[in-house]
Structure 1
Amino acid sequence: MLHTKIPQIEEIIEGAIKQAYLSKEPQFISIVNQIDYTDSIAFLDRANKVDKHRLFWQSADEEFTLVGVGSTKKILSSNSHRFNEIEAVWNEVQQKASVYDILHEKGTGLVSIGGFSFDTKQDNNAPWANFPHNQMTIPMYLLTNKGNQSFLTTNILIMEEDHKQQIVHQILTDHEQLLTAEREELNLPDRIGRLDVAPEEWKEIVKQATDDIKNNKLEKVVLAREVRVKFSHDVQLAAVIEKLCETQINSYVFAIESGGDYFVGATPERLAKVDNQELISTCLAGTVPRGHYPEQDEQLGEALLNDPKNRQEHDFVVQMIREAVEACCYNVSIPQEPVVYPLRNLQHLYTPVTATLEKGYTLLDVVARLHPTPALGGLPQKTSVDYIRDHEVLNRGWYAGPLGWFDGKNNGEFAVAIRSALIQKNEASLFAGCGVVEDSDPEAEFEETGVKLKPMLSALGGY
């Protein structure tokens, strides 16, 4: 199945062991092979028997999927300059790594997948103890699917005391498990309980926020709430991801496994994408449900386009993203008016942003400037984030934070981790938020968050 022959792998590892001995430093090697087409869900499922650190990303607008297994290196950082620190470590890894790749395909070789918390000043406690504020992972094994093509990257850290045959045997054993082993039957979880966390208190916070906005303490704030659900058995990660991929068209489907917990979601909101120095970002704010029939769907979409509250909320996002992108890009193009962007359960106001990244800037530079957008935090940025920290009745953790990937060829993409859930064995916390402005109605906002919870509730055993 692998196009690279075993002797080549043996030679690469033997050379790395010798170099580790001579330099007295570990050697990072990355080997890329094209393989027969491999289903990403099957790979994710089989990976459960290789390592408990699994990573999944499926793009919203192209046939592109990444599935990572294990961790050759986790890139962590402190919280004060987290994006710069991650970038610095990533650059150091790239400089020292030996990459064996004649294909040079996007999303292969050195690829880092992970995310960042929404607010580093919030305590990293329950239920997010297994998710550091900032964590990008270079997986040991990476399946990259582009259309009907599959590529397998193997990343290994070689020590001078390692034994060639032992490492080769382990790699081939893992490859066999990931690519050809028998699979377990996938079943969605049976839900046996649901709890909306402090709904009346949440509505009171929304009411307080509208008063504070009227009193000019801030312009807008996004307030999120939590729903907790319980299941009869532990949740199968692959079953949930399979359901999300099948049902949440036009969304980014993601999963990060850390310490036995899964953070999963299907988000419609791209933060930024870079492909060959071309940048794409998305302004997505303003929400109504889908209609039950085409005429109603069209009426709801038209009402959304003409609703002052939703248009104001959307314009906040457009102006902030314009300012952030213009700081590090040229050829910036932003349409004057939004359009309606339909999803399975919802439709949003949508404005695309395209630009060319200035030389010397990277995807993480853009992410650092954009996070959090007014669609996730509010305005002014710092004031709204402080307000959320002081008033929300949940710990956001990675919810609404940037989550995505980048490779050693300056490609990558980050989305905003909304429409998401933190799954812990047979329990899960689901999150959804809404933009609060001065004329927001607490009951209407509660209903809006309820609609936004439907995709994850459906994937987790019901409505």
Structure 2
Amino acid sequence: MNAVLSPPKLFVRTVPLRDRAGSLVRRLPEGAALAWLSGDDGIVGWGEAARLEPEAAPAGTPPTDNSRIAQAARWFTGLLEHAEVEDEVGLPGTGLVTFGTFTFAPTSPGSALVVPRVLVGRRGDRAWLTTVTDEPVEHPEELLRPATEPRPVGPLEWRPGSLTRQEWMDAVAGTVGRIRAGELEKAVLARDAIARAQSPVDVRVLLERLRTRFPSCFTFSVAGMVGATPELLLRREGDQLTSLVLAGTRPRGEDAESDRRLGQEMMASAKDVEEHGLAVDSLRAALEPLAAELAVPAWPHLLGLANVQHLATRVHARLAPGVSALDAVAALHPTAAVGGTPTETAMRLIGEVEGMDRGGYTGPVGWLDGAGNSEWGIALRCARVDGSSARLYAGGGIVAGSDPAAEAAETESKFRVMREALADPRG
């Protein structure tokens, strides 16, 4: 653990940026990139002014333990107390900002908070530059560097993940049996696949492809976790909180009629409606103790993405006084949409049958600023990028009516997001 006993003195300055044109990804230099993007808006950063990597919890820790998130909250509070902040913009994502990723399970390594040295943000017609330095900076624009052109990923070698397709379907069948026997109601099972390139993967290539193909998703890069998630765990501005629950998936149709038919089929599916309802109930139970007001729609709507469509429910809440964004993150994770129901039983089953460590996959990923504003997604449609290798993840909710072959096909649809982001379009 690299928690700082005596936080460093940081000088934080946010100034308006006159040049608002172009993709934020194009601002990033080569190297470890930090990003949270939605269409043309978002924040990107580079360099490290401060970093925390909470230790993984020891074996035997309850699977729902979120003390790593509480530790991160204390660390960021300490940084704020020792920071001198000059913010000339005053929007969410200005001032002192940290990007974060938390692992799905408390015993997994890989959680991290990173405060960048340089951050560039855009929201509508306003853009800004934030610098975080050890000494006051009179001209922060001088810390902007011309970015180099992203390098193509190049040829890839694909390798099987921790389980073969058949082994994973066998795990699904076994899980269905345990659900029908009354051991639990739902478990979300994931698979992995591995890609190897001939040289280090330039994350900027993935970010630009994901951002342009999935403008309604949140494209992210934090401490090696890179992807485009449709699932907003929470957005907080002031005391207002929004969350988006996704559970239930179908592919997009080849034409408008087949697309409509697939969506209607999902809306009428007892299996998908049950899976979605369990996820919504999980979110409601977690938020109720934190909220002064809570609004949960009675029925989901369809959310169509480029490659799949989901059952979706958008939840709104007004947080009770004293409740922070990371308090809410800790209360919400893991949702039934990524773990299962009952939560502890499902997470123990996941550890038994998946055959892999998820790391940051299906964990919270996002950002937090010094005013308490934040956006956190669930790390889905993503990969862990480490040098020239990328480990892709995809999963699905398993209930009593699940069919192993259909679940495997659903994961293939979800893998396609990162496969296509990695693939060289020239062949």
Q: TM-score under structure 1 normalisation?
A: 0.84
Distance in 1, matches of 2:300 and 2:81, equals 42
- The 5-angstrom pairing of residues 121-132 of structure 1 reads 121-122=107-108, 124=109, 132=110
Q: CA RMSD in A?
A: 2.1
Cα drift, residue 407 of structure 1: 0.6
Q: Which residue is 2:14 aligned to?
A: 32
Distance in 2, matches of 1:377 and 1:302, equals 26
Distance in 2, matches of 1:441 and 1:32, equals 52
Residue of 63, 81, 91 corresponding to 2:77: 91
Residue of 320, 326, 333 corresponding to 2:288: 326
Residue 112 in 1 paired to residue 91 in 2?
A: no
Residue 274 in 1 paired to residue 257 in 2?
A: no
Q: Which residue is 1:254 aligned to?
A: 220
* DSSP-derived class of the 2:310 partner: strand
Cα drift, residue 453 of structure 1: 0.8
Distance in 1, matches of 2:148 and 2:69, equals 38
Q: Is 2:168–2:191's contact at 8 Å kept on the other side of the alignment?
A: yes
Cα drift, residue 92 of structure 1: 1.9
Residue 390 in 1 paired to residue 356 in 2?
A: no
Cα drift, residue 168 of structure 1: 7.3
Distance in 2, matches of 1:185 and 1:436, equals 39
Residue 55 in 1 paired to residue 21 in 2?
A: no
Residue of 137, 144, 152 corresponding to 1:187: 152
Cα drift, residue 145 of structure 1: 1.1
- The 5-angstrom pairing of residues 32-431 of structure 1 reads 32-35=14-17, 36-37=19-20, 39-44=23-28, 47-48=29-30, 52-59=31-38, 64-78=41-55, 79=57, 81-122=67-108, 124=109, 132=110, 134-158=111-135, 174-175=143-144, 177=145, 181=146, 183-184=148-149, 186-195=151-160, 197-257=163-223, 262-431=224-393
Distance in 2, matches of 1:308 and 1:438, equals 11
* Percentage of matched positions with identical amino acids: 32
Between the two proteins, the alignment pairs up a number of residues equal to 408
* DSSP-derived class of the 2:371 partner: coil
Tell me, which stretches of 5 or more residues in structure 2 are unaligned?
1-5, 58-64
Cα drift, residue 146 of structure 1: 1.1
Tell me, which stretches of 5 or more residues in structure 1 are unaligned?
1-23, 125-131, 159-163
Q: Is 1:190–1:233's contact at 8 Å kept on the other side of the alignment?
A: no
Cα drift, residue 54 of structure 1: 2.2
Distance in 1, matches of 2:398 and 2:198, equals 36
Distance in 2, matches of 1:287 and 1:444, equals 11
Cα drift, residue 40 of structure 1: 0.8
Cα drift, residue 189 of structure 1: 3.2
Q: Is 1:57–1:66's contact at 8 Å kept on the other side of the alignment?
A: yes
Cα drift, residue 228 of structure 1: 1.3
Output the amino acid matched with 1:240: L
Cα drift, residue 173 of structure 1: 5.5
* DSSP-derived class of the 2:134 partner: strand
Q: Is 2:308–2:413's contact at 8 Å kept on the other side of the alignment?
A: yes
Q: Is 1:106–1:411's contact at 8 Å kept on the other side of the alignment?
A: yes
Output the amino acid matched with 2:91: E
* DSSP-derived class of the 1:120 partner: coil
Output the amino acid matched with 1:90: F
Structure 2 vs 1, CA of residues 330 and 391 (structure 1 numbering), >3 Å: closer, same or farther? same
Distance in 1, matches of 2:98 and 2:7, equals 22
Q: Which residue is 2:407 aligned to?
A: 445
Cα drift, residue 190 of structure 1: 2.8
Q: Is 2:15–2:87's contact at 8 Å kept on the other side of the alignment?
A: yes
Q: Is 2:249–2:308's contact at 8 Å kept on the other side of the alignment?
A: yes
Q: Which residue is 2:3 aligned to?
A: none
> Which has the higher mean CA deviation after the structures are superposed, 184-193 or 92-101?
184-193
Q: Is 2:241–2:318's contact at 8 Å kept on the other side of the alignment?
A: yes
Cα drift, residue 233 of structure 1: 3.5
Cα drift, residue 194 of structure 1: 4.5
Q: Which residue is 1:16 aligned to?
A: none
The C-alpha deviation readout for 1:233-264, integer Å capped at 9, x for no partner, is 4322111111001111311100124xxxx321
Q: Is 1:248–1:455's contact at 8 Å kept on the other side of the alignment?
A: no
Structure 2 vs 1, CA of residues 25 and 394 (structure 1 numbering), >3 Å: closer, same or farther? closer
Cα drift, residue 68 of structure 1: 1.3
Bigger radius of gyration, 1 or 2? 1
Q: Is 1:189–1:234's contact at 8 Å kept on the other side of the alignment?
A: no
> Which has the higher mean CA deviation after the structures are superposed, 422-431 or 280-289?
422-431
* DSSP-derived class of the 2:201 partner: coil
Distance in 2, matches of 1:334 and 1:25, equals 40
Output the amino acid matched with 2:33: R
Q: Is 1:75–1:90's contact at 8 Å kept on the other side of the alignment?
A: no
Output the amino acid matched with 1:106: P
Distance in 2, matches of 1:236 and 1:25, equals 32
Distance in 2, matches of 1:270 and 1:349, equals 14
Distance in 2, matches of 1:397 and 1:182, equals 30
Cα drift, residue 425 of structure 1: 2.7
